[in-house]
Amino acid sequence: MYRNFVFPSREELASHAREMPEIHPDDVITMLTVMKAAEEIKGKTDGILERRYHMSQGKLCVMIILHQHREGLAPSKLAVMAGVTKATISVMLARMERDGLVKKSVNADDGRARLVYLTDKGREEMDSILPAHYVRISRLIGRLDEGEKKELVRLLHKIVDE
């Protein structure tokens, strides 16, 4: 499961902990395990997206956002929602427009601004990809019972939320 990932030994961590008492070996190993599991899960889902659909996770994210906002979005707002820079969204949208997945039009409320929409082709692609993508995600987490899922989400929030 954790190929190409080297965990420090407990002895190594204990040695560092003697010098820096803030180091807790079990905490380090637990967090590295969480990080590696996230990497493995991401690798599985991203790999399928790339192989089957020639789509990156970033492109999927942008297309899902546009799929949810049929009224269109300003590129700057789309960048914020996708967690990327304006420069990155500009490049992504240019490629997606070239591929016929999105279109830009003048904002009726502000003639200087543009809105981005999925084209019919982009919407059809999402309608084709998303159900199968969500099935794969469901299968990955489906090994857990409902209580375990809730506990996992609770614990992950406890780690991430400050």
Tell me the pLDDT tens digit for each residue of 51-102.
Answer: 988 899 999 999 999 999 999 999 999 999 999 999 999 999 999 999 999 9
What percentage of residues in the chain have a pLDDT greater than 70? 97
Residue 66: name the closest of 116, 124, 100, 32 by CA.
116
Q: Are residues 78 and 3 in the same domain?
A: no
For the stretch 4-55, pLDDT in tens is 678 898 899 999 999 999 999 999 999 999 999 999 998 888 888 899 888 9
| Beta bridge pairs of residue 115 | 105
Provide the domain count of the chain.
2
Question: Which pLDDT belongs to residue 85?
Answer: 95
Summarize the confidence of residues 99-119 as an average pLDDT.
Answer: 88
Residue with tokens 């375990």: 148
Q: Are residues 70 and 133 in the same domain?
A: yes
Question: Which pLDDT belongs to residue 159?
Answer: 93
User: 105 lies in which domain range?
Assistant: 55-162
83 CB-contact burial (10 Å; exposed 0-12 / middle 13-18 / buried 19+): exposed
Tokens of 90: 């500009």
Q: Quick one: how far is CA 64 from the chain centroid?
A: 11
Q: Are residues 130 and 85 in the same domain?
A: yes
- 5: which residues sit within 8 A by CB, 6+ positions away? 32, 36, 39
Q: Are residues 102 and 128 in the same domain?
A: yes
Q: Are residues 23 and 82 in the same domain?
A: no
Question: Which pLDDT belongs to residue 6?
Answer: 80
Using CA atoms, how far residue 29 sits from 14, 23, 101, 114, 134, in Å, is 12, 11, 43, 48, 30
CATH number at residue 93: 1.10.10.10
| Beta bridge pairs of residue 104 | 116
Cα dihedral sign for 59, 64, 67, 69? negative
Q: Are residues 49 and 72 in the same domain?
A: no
Q: Are residues 40 and 104 in the same domain?
A: no
